[in-house]
A and B are shown apart, each in its own frame.
Chain A
Amino acid sequence: MAFALKNLVRASLRAATVATALSMVLPAQAAAPAASFDPHNISGFWELPYDGRNIPQANLQPSVTPAVIAEHRAKDANSRRWCYFIGMPMAMDSPRPIDIRQSAHEVLVNFETRATPRHIYLDRKDNMLLDDYDFTSTGDSVGHWEGNTFVVTTVGIDGDKGLTLLPGGGFRTTDSKLTERYRLANNGNALIVTFTWEDPKVFKTPHTYAYRYTRAPKFYEVQTTLDCDPLDKERAEFFANPPSAK
């Protein structure tokens, strides 16, 4: 009997502790207007419209000269010519909707372009140690929620793979770190993603820009991938020769 009573007291104390903890959260939650969408579910097909980019000019280091930018431009042209995987961040600037799907362990971002999928892992807190990691065009990404914002940090993007020039100026290198912040807006029909690049060799201050995606229609169907044939001679000609007025 005494044992049962002790258990009852323990259970009551546990319940009181949980109730106290919840009471610290509930008032704030109650004060907020009820959302008609789940702010923690960014799954869906998302389109980047022509008015979906807010891109300030990057604050570049003096060492990033026009000649250095020209080198990256040439490298990117070669990547396009040979259909290399687009990589981050330009994969996110897609002419087709991007497919974001959440599970308990990861958020997958899949593309209809020449880009490999992004795996954003939820079951670890830190990015991989880079000496353990085979660098890829999309890097190693981990994500977590801060309130209603899904925060993703990415490292390990191979500076030699894909498109390296960044929106707003500058470029990514193997040492760059990217932080993305995803937040639903417009009643769940818009997804605002801010991209912040840190790389002291390239930027004087972190370079931040934002995309605002709009949700694709409910029954959007994935289309045949926009593929790229590096051996197509007509296409190769298109790249090789400057445009002519004739």
Chain B
Amino acid sequence: MPAHASLTNATIARRSPPAVRRFSRWLAIPITVAAGALGTVAPASAAQPAGGIPDLTGAWVRIDATGSGSFDNLAAGFPQASLTPAYAEQREREKKAGPRTGAWDPNKKYQNGEAYVVTAGTCGFPGGIEPNSAAFHIVQDRDEVVIVRENPGLGRNIYMDGRPHPDLKRFVPTATGHSVGRYEGGALVFETVGLTPGGVPAGGYKTPETVLVERYSLSPDGNRLTMRYTFTDPKIYTKPHTFEILAERGLPRQLAFEWYCDAADPKQSQGVAPPKQE
């Protein structure tokens, strides 16, 4: 998230009038009483989960609790994936083949002045399952939990209505796959299949058949979210591949920033050539 956006949001949070907060709390009591008496539900809580369900709704920002400095360094601290021999061999072959010409290779040390392409400039929606450096927002409804990013990327739709996964033969894999969830022991637990093939942090890999189970649990004060990812796929892993990512709750009333991208701007797709160092 660009610095100016977070500054703006922080400013907004600071300027939230406390009188309105007090008014909301004051109003909440009679509304709750009246709603209970009428046998209906207060408007704002129409779809609010029942007690014992964590309140995940709101803005969240991924954090680097170990001072790793980048996501790659953060992921380097995760337990490494334990790959099957067949799959490890395949990965080795792919590594030797290298990335497509001109594509950015995270494993390569670039020379000063050597250009590489960081984005195709389509301003597209690649999406993904792990949060990136932009904030993400969770909205919990009885039948669905939705997670959206502040920059382009498919939203995550986690169906909570008891439906099963579809037949994968009839499902077009996506960056976010098909997710079904439930609440278990105070955490949101959801299972995803139908993911597009690709890398997974800490040396893992995923295919449409890979089963990903995520467990979102809150700290006692409700301000820290632990997202535990467990990938299972007997053709790839000798044991489930698990790692955790942490996020911190955004500021009260934090606005969702809109990452805007102009594909007509040629700079969107230019290569990056680090300047020569003296």
Interface residues of A (CB under 8 A from B): 18, 21-22, 25-26, 29, 38, 40-41, 43-44, 78, 81-85, 99, 101-108, 110, 114, 116-117, 119, 121-126, 128, 132-134, 136-138, 140, 144-145, 150, 161, 218-219, 221-222, 224-225, 227, 229-231
- Give B127's nearest chain A residue, CB to CB: A225
A18 to B30, CA, bound (A): 9
Most B CB atoms within 10 A — which of A22, A26, A104?
A104
Question: Is the contact region of chain B dominated by helix, strand, or loop, or is it mixed?
Answer: loop
Pick the contact of B264 from A40, A140, A230 — CB < 8 Å?
A: A230
Q: Are A134 and B257 in contact (CB under 8 A)?
A: yes
Q: Is A103 within 8 A of B11, CB to CB?
A: no
27 A-B residue pairs with Cβ-Cβ distance under 8 Å, sorted by A, are: A21-B30, A21-B34, A29-B38, A43-B46, A43-B47, A81-B264, A84-B262, A101-B139, A101-B141, A102-B47, A102-B139, A103-B48, A103-B57, A103-B139, A117-B155, A119-B256, A121-B255, A123-B24, A123-B253, A128-B12, A133-B12, A133-B255, A219-B163, A225-B154, A230-B121, A231-B120, A231-B269
Kindly report which residue of chain B lies nearest to residue A125, judged by CB atoms.
Answer: B20
List the B side residues contacting A105 at CB < 8 Å. 44, 57-58
Give the shortest distance, in Å, between A38 (CB) and chain B (any CB): 6
Min CB–CB distance B53 → chain A (angstroms) = 11
Evaluate contact between B46 and A110: CB separation under 8 angstroms: no
A101 touches B8 (CB 8 A): no
B273 to chain A, nearest CB (A): 21
Query: A150 to B12, alpha carbons, bound, how many Å?
Result: 25
Within 8 Å CB of B45, what residues of A?
104
Distance in angstroms from A86 CB to nearest chain B CB is: 12
CB < 8 Å neighbour of B253 from A99, A124, A138 = A124
Please give the distance in Å from B266's CB to the nearest CB on chain A: 11
Q: Whose C-beta in chain A lies nearest to the C-beta of B47? A: A102
Q: Please report B residues at the A interface, Cβ cutoff 8 Å.
A: 4-5, 8, 11-12, 15-16, 20, 24, 30, 33-34, 37-38, 40-48, 55, 57-58, 120-125, 137, 139-144, 146, 148, 154-155, 157, 161, 163, 166, 172, 174, 178, 253, 255-258, 260, 262-264, 269
User: Which of chain A's residues have a CB closer than 8 A to the CB of B44?
Assistant: 104-105, 122-123, 145
Q: In the complex the two chains form, is B57's CB within 8 Å of A40's CB? A: no
Chain A hits for B41, CB < 8 A: 38, 40-41
B46 cross-chain contacts in A, Cβ below 8 A? 38, 40-41, 43, 102
Q: Chain B residue with minimal CB distance to A25?
A: B34
| From B24, B40, B155, contact of A38 by CB (8 A) | B40
CA distance A85 to B121 in the complex (A): 15
Across the interface, do A83 and B20 meet the contact criterion of CB distance under 8 Å? no
Q: Is A99 a contact partner of B144 (Cβ separation < 8 A)?
A: yes
Q: Is the CB of B166 within 8 A of A231?
A: no
Is B137 a contact partner of A124 (Cβ separation < 8 A)? no
